[in-house]
Structure 1
Amino acid sequence: MTNKLLRVFAFVTVMALVLAGCGSSSDGSGGVKTIHIYQFKVEILQPLNEMKAEYEKTHPGIKLDIQSVGGGSDYGSALKAKFASGDQPDIFTNEGYADRDTWFEYMEDLSDQPWVKNLDEFAKEPMTVNGKLYGQPMNLEGFGIIYNKDLFQKAGITQLPRTLNELEETAKKLKAAGITPFANGFAEYWILGNHLANIPFAQQKDPAQFIAGLNDETSKIPGNPVFEKWVDLLDLMLKYGNANPLTTDYNSQVTMFANGQAAMMHHGNWTQPQIDGINPDLNLGILPAPIDNDPSSADKIAVGVAANWVVNKNSPVKEEAKEFLNWLATSDAGKKYVTEKFKFVPAFKNMQADEKVTGDLGMVVSQHAKEGKIWTWNFPRFPKGYNHDISSSMQAYIAGEINKEEMLTEFQEEWENLSYR
């Protein structure tokens, strides 16, 4: 073959490849656009796949590629690895506050989306910067002291505790009836460093200002009266709790409670599916977690946004991604997935939690959110790694290795060492 023929052949080959590429999407499926979704709620993997099939059926030309990383895997590290490799998702999940700040440069402003007007106001805060909203809340979760109503009745408890002294009286009655008052799973860092540690942060006069003060060194944890009183609650839970709390993990704790071996545990509505799997007939409620004898805050539990959907502003299909989130939050089919299939407590005024699937605990959370009787979630504002560090300090305190003052001093030092100011 002559050089001229070789050049002609090469030109024709290149043009054929170019023309073949025209009219094809990135997935090579003839104009079909793919929305790549990366998220960490592995518990909704099956209904997400059902939703994918329905959405693709009703939206010709759109494919959903859903990848779920969570459970025992580190979602944050996996997400960073994807971005570092250039394999950026179009939609991903974000916890808000510090996590929002970490990924802010990639986030699309969603303030003008139709679903925003239906959001509960407090649910906007974790993803709001300078008045603009950068995420759609996936769901609400809430936590406090979950209690077994039937065991309370068995112990002759007719009035729910509203103060720390009343909580101790309740624990004494349960113990006298042969019932372990508290199931404590203190082998888990997040039970201590996220949820229990949230209590003294949430009950500050202004939690956001207090945290800002920790960053600019105008707030201190040692000597703070709220933290001092909070340790009294921890002591009470230990005094009236199960043996060996430091070797009791989450699964053992919830199993103990679900089997009726304990009457209370500090947890949230995410435990309902596991409880139902063991004992679906339990009658459950959620008590506030009192730190003193002032009953004025006895009607609040901690309620917050567990995760948010965000749109990658650099995505080539970001308009399609926004349309998907709008469908999820406003269409009848989308709302059905959120409330019935995902079994979420929604953060939207135009959705109603489904009692049949969220159970007793989800309905308590939903009611508190509607009435505004909530403590804020503050652990998403912590410097990265702080929850791990303070959980280690709490475990040392529980083991008797350090005293209260030493534990709170470590809380302060650990913040200063990790602060992202």
Structure 2
Amino acid sequence: MRRPMLLVLALCTAMTVILSGCGNAAQGNGDVKTIHIFQFKVELLEPMKEMKAEYERTHPGIKLDIQSVGGGADYASALKARFASGDQPDIFTNEGYEDRETWFEYMEDLSDQPWVKDLDDFAREPMTVDGKIYGQPMNLEGFGMIYNKDLFKKAGISKLPRTLNELEETAKRLKEAGITPFANGFAEFWILGNHLGNIPFAQQDDPAEFIAGLNDGSMQIPGNPVFEKWLDLLDLMVEYGNPYPLTTDYNAQVTMFANGKAAMMHQGNWTQPQIDGINPDLNLGILPAPIDNDPAHGDKIAVGVAANWVVNKNSPVKEEAKEFLNWLATSESGKKFITEKFQFVPAFKTMEANPEVTGDLGMVVSEHAKSGRIWTWNFPRFPKGYNHDNSSSMQAYIAGVITRKELLQQLQDSWDNLKFR
């Protein structure tokens, strides 16, 4: 999956950025050992420079070579090219689940590391195999209906919507007040295919069991009542959304919302920096994205692990690599980088999100994670390419080219075609 936070930096058309060194031909040079790190969060370029300097200062004989590929570049392809050339990094990032299986043969078992006991329980799952942990979560991210509290107040809305009917009533009142209810960026595959596409999977009785059923043929998308209800939400968003949603991209969506031209958008806390860059005075919150009128479903947002650090088990400096990750997760300096410099919502019980840097949205995610009021992220479990296919089908449905029945059948056919590739 292409991480949404990277798209914020796409305006800068960031490509490959090398913080130190080049190549992986020599891991050690006399008494100096180099840890080669390959990761995709180009928005962390500056704080990672600071982290590199701090770590090297406090760990004589260790150098960090941090290479970042993102923005307009494809991290997954770049990582494959590195391994194909024999220039393997010592630490790299992985999204878990399907991506974990792709790279599993290279992953070091990290179960004995000191930080493992401190992980939030649900943050373990994406990188757990047979009870063993193979990755350190970078951070938590969450998404739902981000809303502008001041526009809600302007429209006289005091009760926050927790059901589909209440969300429709909220949309009507916003429209009557001359405010566009939803900013929809449906030109982006991941907004539809990953995040909106996550909803009907997350709200199954047992998402993992449902996905396993899709893989073995015992479950079907057509006729599934959760998918039917999910389309009621999508229809509502289109009906009360901005014109031309299929040509509205991520940046246009966030800009529209940040400028106060829409009251809600289905997005995540990674949008906070871009929103702040346009209008730092907005009062923001995150609502659930309800698909029915069961109030019990109306208090959760989707929270998951954005990515994980993994150690290459073939690395000649894997012990030094593990020590670096241990420093990052347990030392006061490392924790400061996670919670302040990186502006992360941490995935560790021993850390607290910093409201001064995460903003309103990050604190909502942190609160939901700590209270367990979350829907799971299931798109990392999708077969490779499914998020693109289901996005295209959803776009066709939004455009009126196909019916509900045809959409649900296309989602099933795509899964069947891709599940064992």
Asked if these proteins are the same fold (TM beyond 0.5), I'd say: yes
Structure 1 residues 15-414: aligned runs within 5 Å: 26=26, 29-414=29-414
| Structure 2 residue matching 1:383: 3-state secondary structure | coil
| Structure 1 residue matching 2:160: 3-state secondary structure | coil
Displacement of 1:280: 0.4
Displacement of 1:26: 2.2
The CA deviation string for residues 364-421 of structure 1, in whole angstroms up to 9 with x for no partner, is 0000000000000000000111000000000000110001110010000000110027
The CA deviation string for residues 142-184 of structure 1, in whole angstroms up to 9 with x for no partner, is 0000000000000000100010000000000000000000000
Unaligned 5+ runs, structure 1: 1-24
Q: Give the whole-Å Cα distance in 1 for the aligned partners of 2:63 and 2:169.
A: 58
| Structure 1 residue matching 2:369: 3-state secondary structure | helix
Displacement of 1:86: 0.3
| Structure 2 residue matching 1:265: 3-state secondary structure | strand
| Structure 2 residue matching 1:181: 3-state secondary structure | strand
The CA deviation string for residues 19-58 of structure 1, in whole angstroms up to 9 with x for no partner, is xxxxxx9267432000000001111111011100110011
The CA deviation string for residues 254-295 of structure 1, in whole angstroms up to 9 with x for no partner, is 000000000000000000000000000000000000001111
Q: Give the whole-Å Cα distance in 2 for the aligned partners of 1:227 and 1:27.
A: 51
Unaligned 5+ runs, structure 2: 1-24
Q: Give the whole-Å Cα distance in 2 for the aligned partners of 1:203 and 1:64.
A: 42
| Structure 2 residue matching 1:143: 3-state secondary structure | strand
Letter of the 1:293 counterpart? N
The CA deviation string for residues 193-241 of structure 1, in whole angstroms up to 9 with x for no partner, is 0000000000000000000111111110001000000000000000000
| Structure 2 residue matching 1:185: 3-state secondary structure | coil
Q: Give the whole-Å Cα distance in 2 for the aligned partners of 1:152 and 1:351.
A: 33
Letter of the 2:101 counterpart? D
Q: Give the whole-Å Cα distance in 1 for the aligned partners of 2:186 and 2:296.
A: 29
The CA deviation string for residues 334-355 of structure 1, in whole angstroms up to 9 with x for no partner, is 0000010000000001111010
Q: Give the whole-Å Cα distance in 1 for the aligned partners of 2:216 and 2:171.
A: 41
Q: Give the whole-Å Cα distance in 2 for the aligned partners of 1:350 and 1:31.
A: 34
Q: Give the whole-Å Cα distance in 2 for the aligned partners of 1:55 and 1:236.
A: 50
Letter of the 1:405 counterpart? K
Question: Structure 1 pair 28/297, CA: closer, same or farther in 2 (3 Å)?
Answer: closer
Letter of the 1:111 counterpart? S
| Structure 2 residue matching 1:63: 3-state secondary structure | strand
Q: Which residue number corresponds to residue 16 of structure 1?
A: none
The CA deviation string for residues 278-317 of structure 1, in whole angstroms up to 9 with x for no partner, is 0000000000000011111111100000000000000000
Letter of the 2:377 counterpart? W
Letter of the 1:153 counterpart? K
**Which has the higher Rg, Structure 1 or Structure 2?**
1
TM-score by length of 2: 0.93
The CA deviation string for residues 2-34 of structure 1, in whole angstroms up to 9 with x for no partner, is xxxxxxxxxxxxxxxxxxxxxxx9267432000
Q: Give the whole-Å Cα distance in 2 for the aligned partners of 1:229 and 1:29.
A: 60
Letter of the 2:372 counterpart? G
Question: Structure 1 pair 28/104, CA: closer, same or farther in 2 (3 Å)?
Answer: closer
Q: Cα RMSD between the aligned structures?
A: 0.9
| Structure 1 residue matching 2:221: 3-state secondary structure | coil
Q: Give the whole-Å Cα distance in 1 for the aligned partners of 2:263 and 2:97.
A: 34
Residue correspondences, number? 397
Letter of the 1:244 counterpart? Y
Letter of the 1:171 counterpart? A
Letter of the 2:88 counterpart? Q
TM-score by length of 1: 0.93
Q: Give the whole-Å Cα distance in 1 for the aligned partners of 2:28 and 2:253.
A: 49
Q: Give the whole-Å Cα distance in 2 for the aligned partners of 1:28 and 1:292.
A: 59
Q: Give the whole-Å Cα distance in 2 for the aligned partners of 1:71 and 1:410.
A: 31
Q: Give the whole-Å Cα distance in 2 for the aligned partners of 1:282 and 1:54.
A: 34
